[in-house]
Every structure is written in C-alpha cells, then in structure tokens.
Amino acid sequence: MKRAFLLGNTASDIEMKQTPSGKDYGLFAVYVKGAGDEDERYTVEVWGNYAKALCDKIHKGDKVYVEGELHTFKVEDRRYVNIVAQKVLKL
C-alpha cells in the first residue's frame, strides 16, 4: 500500500455520491504546490459517515491536510492519481 500525505487547498466543495449498493462517499479536489509555479491536482475520496461530517466543515479554498492511500490508474494514455483519505484536517 502506498501512503499519501498532502498539504494544500481545496479546489471544490465535497460532492456527495452514492454507490449502486447504497454506500455514501464524497469527492473533492486538492491543489498542492508543485515545482516552480505549477500546482498539482489530486482527487480525494472520503467514505461513509466521515464524508457526511466533512461536508459541513470543508469548503472550496480551505487549507487542508490529507492522509490516505494513494491509488493510480491509467485511462487512454492518461495517468490519474486518487487519494482514499483516512484523515482530513482543516488548517
């Protein structure tokens, strides 16, 4: 398992979704300062009641610390990075 630790700003509010089996989860983006002037964008997933609780606390533009599992996948020659978060702290 690859662990990820991010410190950045949220690019969006948490968007709540539901799997076909009825499990709640939320998605939001975090921008992290990269080399030079370029920011790196990561998609963050949070699951269950934790996702619901964060909806009221985390909003677009907030500075956050995210800790979780790093997942990468490829779709048509494009690489995506996704973080499944176990901890999200608003700073």
Q: What is the per-residue pLDDT across 40-90, written as a single tens digit (0 to 9) for each?
A: 889 999 999 999 999 989 999 999 999 999 998 888 888 888 999 999 999
* pLDDT band of 10, cuts 50, 70, 90: very high
Q: How confident is the model at residue 27 (pLDDT cuts 50, 70, 90)?
A: very high
| HSE-up (13 A, CA, CB side) for residue 36 | 1
Q: Are 26 and 15 in contact (CB under 8 A)?
A: yes
